[in-house]
Amino acid sequence: MKHYQSERSLYDTTMYYHTCFLKYFLVITCAIISCALYCQQANAECPCKQKNQGVHNMATIQVTSSAFEHEGTIPSKYTCDGEDISPPLAIAGVPGNAKSLALICDDPDAPGGTWVHWVVFNLPATVKSLPEKVDIAVHGAIEGKNSWQKSEYGGPCPPSGTHRYYFKFYALDIATLDLDQKATKEDVLAAMEGHIVVEGQLMGKYSRAQ
């Protein structure tokens, strides 16, 4: 008799939790269907879908150069084989709430790891272009240290093969980063964390004559 009551109690407990699960499942399913129907009638996207679209369709800064196309060859004039001056760059699509820009140029194909060629920050968000051989100080901006431990632009100079060079612009919601000319790429990235409104990049390639 006790054995039968124990089995009956176990059965009742199992059925109770099973019923609770089914009720919970039905409530969630009804909520999802109701949300979908509401969105369809209102001709709007569901909140979760909007969030996903925001991640994939986030606006970007358009970065171009009159010297080379995206994924094109960087002229030797802007490398260690030429005048080694910074190339002309144009920036479009910076949102109105941006207060400053930062620029990092690096080479992820360097044999010892990513090589940093240029670090610029505290550039006014109103700047639309940078001429070749730009004097960053004219804009009140600061150049941080590159991988040569120099606070200036250093052009492509790959030891072998074809390397990619990324000119990456970041629009920030703060006017200045509390850094100086000793700042490295890592320092700038850390200071920008949580302040990037939008970003964009231009990639050029270069290989030295053998």
Q: What is the pLDDT of residues 70-96, one digit of tens each?
A: 999 999 999 999 999 999 999 999 999
pLDDT band at 25 (very low <50, low <70, confident <90, very high): low
Examine the fold and report which residue of 18, 35, 55 is the final residue of a domain before the chain moves on: 55
In the predicted model, is pLDDT for residue 198 greater than 70? yes
User: Does residue 97 contact residue 105 with C-beta atoms inside 8 Å?
Assistant: no
pLDDT at 172 (0 to 100)? 98
pTM of the model: 0.73
pLDDT classification of 201: cutoffs 50, 70, 90: very high
Pairing of strands 163-172, 89-92: unpaired
Same domain (yes/no): 72, 117: yes
Could you please report the per-residue DSSP string of 130-189? E-TT--GGGGT-EE---TTS-SS------SSS-EEEEEEEEEESSS--S--TT--HHHHH
Whether residues 85 and 141 share a domain: the answer is yes
Per the structure, the complete domain to which residue 11 belongs is given by 2-55
Instruction: Report pLDDT for 14.
Output: 52
pLDDT of residue 209: 83
Of 193 and 12, more confident: 193
Domain boundary among 55, 70, 88: 55
Question: Same domain, yes or no, for 47 and 85?
Answer: no
In sequence order, the 6+-apart residues with CB closer than 8 A to the CB of 104 are: 116, 118, 119, 120, 166, 168, 170, 185, 188, 189
CATH of the domain at 76: 3.90.280.10
48 and 64 both lie in a single domain: no
pLDDT of residue 50: 36
Task: Indicate if 78 and 160 belong to the same structural domain.
Answer: yes
pLDDT(102) > 60: yes
Are 63 and 155 within one domain?
yes
Domain count, the chain: 2
Residues 76 and 179 in one domain: yes
Domain-terminating residue out of 16, 34, 55: 55
What is the rounded average pLDDT for all residues in the chain?
83
106 and 187: one domain? yes
Does the pLDDT of residue 21 top 60, yes or no? no
Band (pLDDT 50/70/90 cuts) for residue 44 is very low
